[in-house]
């Protein structure tokens, strides 16, 4: 079975994000970047499937600037077999990402695409669903447990009321949640081996995909500063403030 794993380069989750002075976006210059944490879970799941013998080819895919190859190398060091980099300096919206992935799926014919449920930079939670719709494939979202059978995948999903278990036919698109697994750290020998693994590079034009943006960012600003709390002397005073000032009761 062949697996395709999209991986996104984002600002590291430990970094405090700063808004640009002109409020056109967030500051990325000289900022530590890393693989999107949900995509790390996707890679880990694919590598575990390969180790269990249910997959024999794991392809890590990243779309964006030249530095995205570093993200692919991280996935290769974790255990992916090869990489594909779609090189573009354009800012990619979820629909454009889904279209590019669709073109790659048609080129590579994977049996399963495992995607992080969302990226921590834009929090869109759209790409996996859009990709499944464009391909006309089955999909399972917010997956916290995954089992692959004969032509089907059994997925346990996290929903508002608890857990839901569904069965989808392969090929399928799966978006993963935090509790699916604990991603491994790449060992030094595997990091060295990853440098020799192949990364194929291509462009959106070569794939015949229009990535023109459909939206325009008008302004990005910091959230409002949280006001200091107030210490009250009595319960009656607290109730009065909740009723007349906060107006929550």
pLDDT of 39: 97
Q: Is the pLDDT of residue 247 over 90?
A: no
Q: Name 60's bridge partners.
A: 5, 83
Domain membership flag for residue 206: yes
Q: Which residue has the higher pLDDT, 4 or 224?
A: 4
Q: Quick check: 146 pLDDT over 90?
A: yes
Q: Is residue 214 part of a domain?
A: yes
Q: Answer yes or no: are the C-beta atoms of 172 and 112 closer than 8 Å.
A: yes
What's phi and psi for 238, nearest 5 deg? -60, -45
- Give me the half-sphere count of Cα atoms (radius 13 Å) on the Cβ side of residue 210: 3
- pTM of the predicted model as reported, rounded to 2 decimal places: 0.85
Residue 197 domain-assigned (yes or no): yes
Inter-residue contact 48 to 54 (CB < 8 Å): no
Question: Within a domain: residue 215?
Answer: yes
Q: What is the CATH number of the domain that holds 44?
A: 3.40.50.620
Residue 237 lies in a domain: no
Domain contains 249:
no
Chain CA centroid to CA 206, Å: 24
Please give the residue range of the domain that contains residue 118. Answer: 2-223
Half-sphere exposure of 177 (CA within 13 A, CB side): 14
* Overall domain count for the chain: 1
Asked if residue 248 has pLDDT above 90, the reply is no
pLDDT at res. 217? 87
- Residue 95 domain-assigned (yes or no): yes
Tell whether 241 is covered by a domain. no
Residues of the chain above pLDDT 90, percent: 76
DSSP states of 88-157: --SPPPHHHHHHHHHHHHHHH--SEEEEES--TTT----HHHHHHHHHT-EEEEEEEEEEE-SSEEEEEE
């Amino acid at each position: 079975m062949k697996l395709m794993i999209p991986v996104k380069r984002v600002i590291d989750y430990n970094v405090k994000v700063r808004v640009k002075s002109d409020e056109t976006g967030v500051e990325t210059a000289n900022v530590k970047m890393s693989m999107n944490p949900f995509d790390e879970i996707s890679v880990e799941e694919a590598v575990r499937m390969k180790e269990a013998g249910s997959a024999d080819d794991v392809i890590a895919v990243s779309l964006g600037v030249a530095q995205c190859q570093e993200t692919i190398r991280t996935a290769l060091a974790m255990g992916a077999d090869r990489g594909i980099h779609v090189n573009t300096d354009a800012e990619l919206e979820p629909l454009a990402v889904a279209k590019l992935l669709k073109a790659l799926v048609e080129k590579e014919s994977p049996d399963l695409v495992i995607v992080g449920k969302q990226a921590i930079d834009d929090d869109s939670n759209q790409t996996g669903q859009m990709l499944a719709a464009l391909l006309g494939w089955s999909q399972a979202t917010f997956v916290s447990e995954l089992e692959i059978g004969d032509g089907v995948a059994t997925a346990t999903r996290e929903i508002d009321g608890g857990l839901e278990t569904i069965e989808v036919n392969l090929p399928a698109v799966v978006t993963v949640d935090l509790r699916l697994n604990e991603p491994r750290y790449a060992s030094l020998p595997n990091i060295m081996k990853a440098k020799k693994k192949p990364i194929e590079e291509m462009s959106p034009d070569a794939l015949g995909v229009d990535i023109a943006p459909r939206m325009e960012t008008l302004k990005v600003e910091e959230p409002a500063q949280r006001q200091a709390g107030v210490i009250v002397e009595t319960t009656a005073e607290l109730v009065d403030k909740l009723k007349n000032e906060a107006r929550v009761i």
